[in-house]
Amino acid sequence: MTDVDRFRRDGYLLLPAAFDPMLLKPMIDMLERRVDRLAPELVARHGLASGHAGASFERRLGLLYDGHELDNREWDPVLFGPEFHDLITRPELTDPLAALLGDEITYQGNGHLRPYLSRHLDRLPWHQDAQFYGAGTEHLLWQMAQVWLPLVDADADSGCLAVVPGSHRWGLIDGAVPGHDNVAGSGAERQRRIYRATARRVAFEPITLLPMRAGDLLVFTNLLAHTGTENRAGIVRWSIDMRFEATRGAHPVTPSEARGYDVMHRRISGRGYVPLRVRGAEGPQTWAGWRRVAGGRPA
């Protein structure tokens, strides 16, 4: 069975050791510099005795936030930079994606960097990503790929993902909120509805935990039911999740796929995400080119 067969059967594909961990180093070094710059402010704000300068990448941010809330979304803008650009245009990532999406591939600009702290009873609940993208995007099942990339080892104690294999065949569990605006934030009530409906649907299904090491890659469909798990390991589970598409316009699509692209692209442009061509006949866009499209947005 090929990787493509496995992806179509299970709705996800785990690629162990896709990256030499050394290739993650520029990204990690950049994040360590950010944490270092942030440390004096956090020391003052949280009344700490020390900035924990000697602590490891896995531990330092957790020590600086000990007992305090961290909003992961504050870290997303950090992805718009040369280190992330260079990481996601690498063949180690785009080769496996090309097997699934074809040779013209675009990162949709919608990535999240999650310094996920060790917090008992805290995790992202069960959902399908398409529930958030909006009804219609389920038709992009084979035109999109979600990628999850841990920057540190993530296991059952430190918040690895869990999935229901084959759940992409269930269709959209709850996306049918008429008039739902998929550009604006989902709102607490909508989020609750999505999480509740998905939790009910997965309740009696066999789940699979996906422990991963730094350098592994997980690729999954936008209909795969998945959740984060509790991080109880005392380390920061640094990970990146991001969405790619078979570049719109580069290949023929069905009318429902075209509708799916319309809904998805409305969200992307409405939210100001800046897509990046990571692979194609013209090669990947350069960092300078990506930055230019973003209108010189500061990195």
Ligand X SMILES: O=C(O)CCC(=O)C(=O)O
Q: Shortest approach of ligand X to residue 116 CB, angstroms?
A: 6
148 binds ligand X (CB under 6 A): yes
CA distance 251 to 102: 9
Q: Are 146 and 237 in contact (CB under 8 A)?
A: no
* Between 116 and 290, CB nearer to ligand X: 116
Q: Shortest approach of ligand X to residue 230 CB, angstroms?
A: 10
* Between 208 and 254, CB nearer to ligand X: 208
Residue-wise burial string across 88-103, b where 16 or more C-beta atoms lie within 10 A, e elsewhere: bbeebbbebbbebbee
Closest CA to 79 of 134, 149, 162: 149
Q: Which residue has the tokens 């994040």?
A: 31
228 binds ligand X (CB under 6 A): yes
65 binds ligand X (CB under 6 A): no
Among 124, 156, 207, 293, binds ligand X (CB under 6 A): 124
Strand ranges (E), the chain: 12-15, 105-107, 112-116, 144-150, 161-163, 208-210, 217-220, 226-228, 237-246, 276-279
* Between 39 and 263, CB nearer to ligand X: 263
114 binds ligand X (CB under 6 A): yes
- Three state DSSP letters for 96-147: HHHHHHCCCEEECCCCEEEEECCECCCCCCCECHHHHHCCCHHHHCCCEEEE
CA distance 261 to 253: 10
Q: Are 154 and 238 in contact (CB under 8 A)?
A: no
Q: Shortest approach of ligand X to residue 154 CB, angstroms?
A: 8
96 binds ligand X (CB under 6 A): no
Binding mask 252-291 for ligand X (x = CB under 6 A): ----------------------------------------
174 binds ligand X (CB under 6 A): no
* Between 72 and 286, CB nearer to ligand X: 72
Residue nearest to ligand X (CB): 228
170 binds ligand X (CB under 6 A): no
Q: Shortest approach of ligand X to residue 292 CB, angstroms?
A: 28
Q: Is 286 left (phi over 0), alpha (psi -120 to 50) or beta?
A: beta
58 binds ligand X (CB under 6 A): no
129 binds ligand X (CB under 6 A): yes
110 binds ligand X (CB under 6 A): no
Q: Are 146 and 101 in contact (CB under 8 A)?
A: no
138 binds ligand X (CB under 6 A): no
239 binds ligand X (CB under 6 A): yes
Q: Are 112 and 242 in contact (CB under 8 A)?
A: yes
Q: Using CB under 6 A, list all residues that contact ligand X.
A: 114, 124, 129, 146, 148, 226, 228, 239, 241
